[in-house]
């Protein structure tokens, strides 16, 4: 029986969505789920490549007598927690819960008390809406009695495979590059099938794991005013509307070449080519010009200061830089820390040189140093507990 993501991939499972009513006797009362943030595109891999980062949201959901949502941590003061008596809400966790209960056949959705402890910066290009969607889906599926399949087994009628979860999440989010790493952890290369161009394929989206080069660390500049958007999806939509509907062939070729180089560099751990492999012509130039006046100067400053690569994180406004890539040599550590500091200082200097208009729009912001994570979404508590093999999608590929 396959027990790793690689084995699942080799078995080429093609999970069409198989909505199935779960017996009421299997329902649970409470669940707690953790989901990582993520950074998408990595430059040229627009809507295709994303990497999970070691920053986590925790979503706790229990059956109650009335609907309520509370939030603490990132964005708590800005995220609307309005919820109608029937559970209708703009809150991404609630929307995902609604979809999960509907999928599991528990309709209408029962009253729920939801609490979100957020560490992932909101509306910043750190995958906060994907984390909410994946967390809400897992919580709803588990509460309604679904068993999360960790071994790719479809033997139980109530089991749900991570690939199936990926289809559900992608239907809500609309692009898979953040939801895939949020589910699986690691760097994920995702693709969406087209009903017309791929008529023989049942699944809507698939994902493949790419290796994270050893010791890789990220320096991120997160503008402070990002959270003024209502939620991450609104912001992403606005930033997608800035993109040209058609692109010149030479720009498409530019991105094909760099995306292929990026995949190869990740497999080889070849950090030297990342400065080329993180360049993009499909979205960064438009977004930089129309919305993010800080982008080009900060990316350039980071590369000049020794970053291996730099790119706009997802739809922005965060600027992400790839640093270090430790050799595992303890003596190397000092220079790696130095590199992170040099990159941060250079970006801060570039920020300081920007005009007031930028600062009025995006504020000063914070610098984060963050590691990627191979761990994906997982359940930390369920009541009653799972009846078989503990359900953590993050352990799917055996890297925990």
Ligand X SMILES: N[C@@H](CCO)C(=O)O
Q: For residues 40 and 139, which CB has a smaller minimum distance to ligand X in the complex?
A: 40
Shortest separation between residue 319's beta carbon and ligand X, angstroms = 14
Shortest separation between residue 263's beta carbon and ligand X, angstroms = 17
Shortest separation between residue 270's beta carbon and ligand X, angstroms = 24
Shortest separation between residue 51's beta carbon and ligand X, angstroms = 12
Peptide bond into 384 cis (omega under 30): yes
Q: For residues 126 and 393, which CB has a smaller minimum distance to ligand X in the complex?
A: 126
Q: For residues 152 and 232, which CB has a smaller minimum distance to ligand X in the complex?
A: 232
Q: Among the residues of 154-248, which ranges form H helices?
A: 162-173, 179-184, 232-240
Q: For residues 31 and 291, which CB has a smaller minimum distance to ligand X in the complex?
A: 291
- In terms of Cβ atoms closer than 10 Å to its own Cβ (0-12, 13-18, 19+), residue 353 is exposed
Residue found under tokens 């290369």: 189
Long-range contacts, stretch 344-350, CB < 8 angstroms, 24+ apart: 344/219, 344/369, 345/305, 346/301, 346/302, 346/304, 346/305, 347/219, 347/221, 347/298, 347/301, 347/302, 347/305, 347/319, 347/321, 349/301, 350/294, 350/297, 350/298, 350/300, 350/301
Query: CA-CA distances (angstroms) from residue 186 to 56, 216, 279, 328?
Result: 14, 12, 21, 19
Shortest separation between residue 240's beta carbon and ligand X, angstroms = 5
Q: Which residues contact 295 (CB under 8 A, 6 or more apart)?
A: 284, 287, 288, 312, 316, 317, 319
Distance between CA atoms of 71 and 54, rounded to whole angstroms? 20
Q: For residues 48 and 212, which CB has a smaller minimum distance to ligand X in the complex?
A: 48
Q: For residues 244 and 304, which CB has a smaller minimum distance to ligand X in the complex?
A: 244
Q: For residues 38 and 395, which CB has a smaller minimum distance to ligand X in the complex?
A: 38
What is the contact surface with ligand X in residues (CB under 6 A)?
Answer: 40-41, 46-47, 175, 177-178, 236, 240, 283, 314-315
Q: For residues 236 and 255, which CB has a smaller minimum distance to ligand X in the complex?
A: 236
Burial 162-178, CB ≥16 within 10 A → b, else e: bbbbbbbbbebbebbbb
Contact criterion met (CB below 8 Å) for 141 and 20: no
Give the single-character DSSP code of 155.
-
Shortest separation between residue 243's beta carbon and ligand X, angstroms = 8
């Amino acid at each position: 029986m396959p027990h790793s993501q690689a084995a699942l991939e080799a078995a080429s499972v093609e999970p069409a969505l198989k909505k199935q009513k779960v017996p009421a006797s299997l329902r649970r009362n409470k669940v707690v789920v953790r989901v990582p943030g993520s950074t998408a595109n990595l430059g040229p891999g627009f809507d295709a490549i994303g990497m999970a980062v070691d920053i986590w949201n925790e979503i706790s959901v229990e059956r109650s007598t009335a609907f309520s949502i509370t939030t603490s941590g990132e964005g708590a003061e800005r995220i609307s927690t309005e919820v109608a008596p029937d559970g209708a809400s703009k809150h991404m966790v609630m929307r995902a819960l609604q979809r999960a209960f509907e999928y599991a056949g528990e309709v209408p959705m029962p009253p729920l008390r939801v609490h979100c402890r957020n560490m992932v910066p909101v509306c910043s290009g750190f995958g906060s809406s994907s984390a909410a969607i994946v967390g809400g889906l897992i919580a709803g599926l588990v509460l309604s009695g679904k068993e999360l399949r960790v071994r790719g087994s479809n033997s139980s009628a109530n089991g749900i495979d991570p690939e199936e979860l990926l289809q559900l999440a992608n239907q809500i989010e609309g692009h898979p590059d953040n939801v895939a790493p949020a589910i699986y952890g690691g760097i994920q290369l995702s693709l969406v099938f087209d009903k017309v161009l791929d008529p023989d394929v049942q699944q809507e989206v698939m994902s493949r794991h790419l290796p994270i080069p050893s010791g890789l660390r990220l320096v991120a500049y997160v503008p402070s005013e990002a959270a003024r958007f209502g939620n991450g999806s609104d912001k992403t939509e606005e930033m997608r509307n800035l993109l040209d509907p058609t692109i010149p062939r030479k720009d498409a070729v530019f991105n094909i070449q760099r995306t292929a180089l990026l995949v190869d560099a990740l497999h080889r751990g070849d950090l030297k080519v990342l400065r080329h492999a993180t360049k993009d012509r499909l979205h960064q130039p438009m977004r930089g010009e129309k919305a993010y006046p800080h982008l080009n100067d900060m990316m350039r400053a980071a590369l000049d200061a020794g970053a291996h690569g730099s790119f706009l994180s997802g739809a922005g406004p965060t600027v992400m830089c790839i640093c270090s890539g430790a050799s595992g040599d303890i003596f190397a550590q000092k220079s790696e820390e130095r590199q992170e500091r040099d990159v941060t200082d250079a970006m801060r200097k570039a920020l300081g040189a920007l005009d007031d208009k930028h600062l009025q729009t995006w504020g000063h912001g914070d610098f984060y140093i963050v590691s990627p994570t191979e761990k994906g979404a997982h359940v930390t508590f369920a009541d009653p507990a799972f009846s078989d093999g503990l359900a953590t999608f993050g352990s799917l590929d055996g890297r925990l």
